[in-house]
Amino acid sequence: MGTIINVAAVILGGIVGRFINAGAIKKHEDSLMCALGLCTLFIGISGVLSKMLVINEGSLETRGTMLIIFSMVLGTLAGEILGIEDHLAHLGERIKKAVGASHDARFVESFMANMLVICIGAMAIIGSLQDGLTGDFSMLAAKSALDCVITLIFASTMGIGAAFAAIPLGIYQGSITLLARFIEPFLSTALISDLSLMGSVLITGVGINLIFNKGIRLANMLPAILGPLIYHLVILPLL
């Protein structure tokens, strides 16, 4: 139910955002995008710090630095070789043609930007696992409210393409939920924590892109999320 609610919320946000007074919002597009970027950046940084900072014998220490480096370097290399960003952009173009939005110059940009914001992050991973393992979709319900507002802003400023981010969102979160029972024996508290850590790192990158328009190819960094799986399930057993 969590993913179904989330998909519906994204579609609703996209439709409402498309038909509200876009002219008035476009006047303040830069400010709104910076505000959205700051929120995304804060969510990402707070998620990273919550997993990296630990108290050991009364002193504050960090953990996971090498895991982040390992995951980001190998994940980005894999993503660049596979050309994930180009494939997703091609998917956006195909959807654009299928829905007859060829006149919308920012369709793919809106689709890609919103997809990265709503698909990457701890809530998407942990919420989907929680929904699949226990049937508790409360985290995804809370995420749905956030995604609805985010999609509304993207759709009103960048176009209806934001609404179609519901497609990869449904596939991504739905797959995690459906597979949760099968992967449960391999899940540990440490693995789930590190998956959340990497999701938060990528969310931080989304915030940087929104604020500074850096054009970081974040889609090609998505395989970095698999870093904790490789570390916990392959490398650690060999040590």
Q: How many domains does the chain contain in total?
A: 1
pLDDT score recorded for residue 228: 94
The range of the structural domain enclosing residue 95 comes to 2-20+29-238
Q: Are 174 and 3 in contact (CB under 8 A)?
A: yes
CA distance 191 to 44: 18
pLDDT in tens, 185-201: 888 889 989 998 998 99
- Range with the poorest average pLDDT among 39-43, 133-137, 166-170: 39-43
Q: Are 200 and 30 in contact (CB under 8 A)?
A: no
- Structure-token pair, residue 238: 């060999």
Would the pLDDT of 18 be above 90?
A: no
Length of the chain: 239
pLDDT score recorded for residue 206: 87
pLDDT in tens, 69-85: 999 999 999 999 999 99
pLDDT score recorded for residue 76: 96
Cα distances (Å, whole numbers) of residue 238 to 131, 132, 177? 32, 30, 29
- Structure-token pair, residue 80: 């660049």
pLDDT score recorded for residue 21: 60
144 band by pLDDT with thresholds 50, 70 and 90: very high
Tell me the whole-structure pTM to 2 decimals: 0.85
Question: Which amino acid belongs to residue 211?
Answer: I
